[in-house]
Amino acid sequence: MDHRPQAWGRPRDDVYGAYDASYLNNSGPRTVTQSPVVTGTSVIAIKYKDGVVMAADNLASYGSLARFTDVKRLRTFLDTTVIGFGGDVSDMQFLDRHLKELATDESYEVEPTLDDEDDEESSSSKPGHLNAANLFKYLQKLMYQRRNSFDPLWNQILVAGLDSDSKPFLASVDLRGTSFTSPSLATGFGAALAQPIMRKYAGTEEDAAKLTREQAVEVVKECMKVLFYRDARSLDRYSIAVVNKDGIELKEDEQLEKQSWAFAERIKGYGTQTV
Amino acid sequence: MFRNNYDNDSVTFSPQGRIFQVEYAAEAVKQGSVVVGIASKTHAVLVAIKRNAEELSSYQKKLFPIDEHVGIAIAGLTSDARVLSNFMKQQCLGHRLTYSRNMPIRSLVDMIGSKAQINTQHYGKRPYGVGLLVAGVDDSGPHLFEFQPSGMTEEMIAFAIGARSQMARTYLERNLDKFKTSTREELIEHGLRALKESLVQDRELTVENTSVGVVGYVKETKKTEPFQVFDGHEVQRYLELVADDKKEGGPQAATVEDESTAMDVDA
What digits encode the pLDDT tens for the residues A23-67? 777 777 788 888 999 999 999 999 999 999 999 999 999 999 999
Q: Is residue A274 part of a domain?
A: no
**Residue A210 to chain B, least CA–CA distance (Å):** 23
| A114 inside domain | no
* CB < 8 Å to A137, chain B: 98-100
A-chain residues within 8 Å CB-CB of B41? 115
Question: Over 70: is that where the pLDDT of B201 sits?
Answer: yes
The whole-angstrom separation of Cα A126 and Cα B126 is 40
Q: Residues B12-28: pLDDT tens digits? A: 999 999 999 999 999 99
Q: Is residue B179's pLDDT more than 90? A: yes
- pTM of structure: 0.83
Nearest CA-CA partner of B238 in B171, B193, B176:
B193
* Count of structural domains, chain A: 1
Is A119 a member of any domain? no
Active-site residue, selected from the candidate residues A31, A33, A69, A178: A33
Q: Where are the alpha helices (DSSP H) in A12-122?
A: 13-16, 89-108
Predicted confidence at residue A151, as pLDDT, reads: 95
Is A175 in contact with A153 (CB distance < 8 Å)? yes
Cβ pair A128:B107 closer than 8 A: no
Query: Higher pLDDT residue, A229 or B254?
Result: A229
- Name the average pLDDT for chain B: 90
CB contacts of A109 in chain B (<8 Å) are 104, 106-107
Q: How far is B98 from chain A (nearest CA, A)?
A: 5
**CB-CB neighbors (< 8 A) of A135 in chain B:** 99
CA atoms within 13 Å, Cβ hemisphere of B73: 34
Measured between alpha carbons, how far is residue B197 from residues B145, B193, B240 in Å? Answer: 22, 6, 16
Task: Report the pLDDT averaged over residues A81-109.
Answer: 94
Contact between A78 and A103 under an 8 Å Cβ cutoff? The reply is yes
Neighbours of B37 (CB within 10 A): 30
| Portion of chain B with pLDDT greater than 90, in percent | 82
Q: How many CB atoms lie within 10 A of CB A272?
A: 4
Choose the mutation target among B97, B100, B223 for the interface with A, i.e. most A CBs under 10 Å: B100
- Asked if residue A113 is part of any domain, the answer here is no
* Contact between B208 and B50 (Cβ < 8 Å): yes
- Across the interface, do A109 and B155 touch by the CB < 8 Å criterion? no
Give the DSSP letter string of B187-224. Answer: HHHHHHHHHHHTS-TT----TTTEEEEEEEEETTTTEE
For residue A187, tell me if it sits in a domain.
Answer: yes
A76 is catalytic: no
Tell me the C-alpha distance between A145 and A17, whole Å.
Answer: 45
CATH number of the structural domain spanning residue A192: 3.60.20.10
CB contact under 8 A, B139 and A133: no
A159 inside domain: yes
DSSP state of B152: -
CB A247 within 8 A of CB A123: yes
Q: Which domains are present in chain B?
A: 19-244 (3.60.20.10)
Partner-chain contact B139 A127, CB within 8 Å: yes
Tell me the residue range of the domain where A103 lies. 33-108+128-256
In this structure, are residues A83 and A98 in contact, taking their beta carbons and an 8 Å threshold? Answer: no
Closest by CA position to A46, among listed A165, A130, A157, A158:
A158
pLDDT digits (tens, 9 = 90+) for A202-220: 999 999 999 999 999 999 9
Residue among A232, A181, A233, A175 at smallest CA distance from A45: A181
User: What backbone torsions phi and psi does residue B232 show, to the nearest 5 degrees?
Assistant: 55, -135
Per CB distance under 8 Å, which residues of B are interface residues toward A? Answer: 39, 41, 97-101, 104, 106-107, 138-141, 143, 155, 157, 180, 222
Integer Cα distance of A105 and A135 in angstroms: 13
Kindly identify which residue of chain B lies nearest to residue A136, measuring between CA atoms: B99
Cα B81 from Cα B64, distance rounded (Å):
10
Question: Would the CB atoms of A134 and B99 count as touching at under 8 Å?
Answer: yes
ipTM for this model:
0.80
> What is the reported pLDDT for B132?
97
Question: How confident is the model at residue B172, as a pLDDT?
Answer: 97
Chain A residues whose CB is inside 8 A of the B108 CB are none
Residue A191: pLDDT above 50?
yes
Closest CB to A128 among B139, B180, B222:
B139
- Nearest CA among A152, A219, A214, A223 for reference residue A187: A223
State CA B181 to chain mean position distance: 20
CB-based contacts of B15, cutoff 8 Å, min separation 6? B6
In whole angstroms, give the CA distance from residue B121 to residue B9: 9
Alpha carbons A132 and A247: distance in angstroms, whole number: 12
Report whether pLDDT(A247) > 70.
Answer: yes
Quote the CA–CA distance of A79 and B233 in Å, as a whole number: 50
Is the pLDDT at A120 greater than 80? The verdict is no
Q: Is the pLDDT of residue A268 over 90?
A: no
Alpha-carbon distance values, B41 to A81, A252, B170, B183 (Å): 28, 42, 21, 9
- A117: in domain: no
Q: Name the nearest CA neighbour of A85 among A69, A71, A104.
A: A71
CA B205 to chain centre: 17
Cβ–Cβ gap B141/A127 under 8 Å: yes
Say yes or no to pLDDT of A188 above 60. Answer: yes
Q: Which residues of A touch B (CB under 8 A)?
A: 109, 111, 113-115, 127-130, 133-135, 137-138, 141, 164-165
Cβ-based contacts of A141 with chain B (< 8 Å): 97-98
- Is position A145 within any domain? yes
Report the alpha-carbon distance of residue A78 to residue B190 in Å, rounded: 40
Residue/partner pairs of A64-72 with CB below 8 Å, 24 or more apart: A64/A232, A64/A233, A66/A233, A66/A235, A67/A38, A68/A38, A69/A235, A69/A237, A70/A237, A71/A40, A72/A239, A72/A252
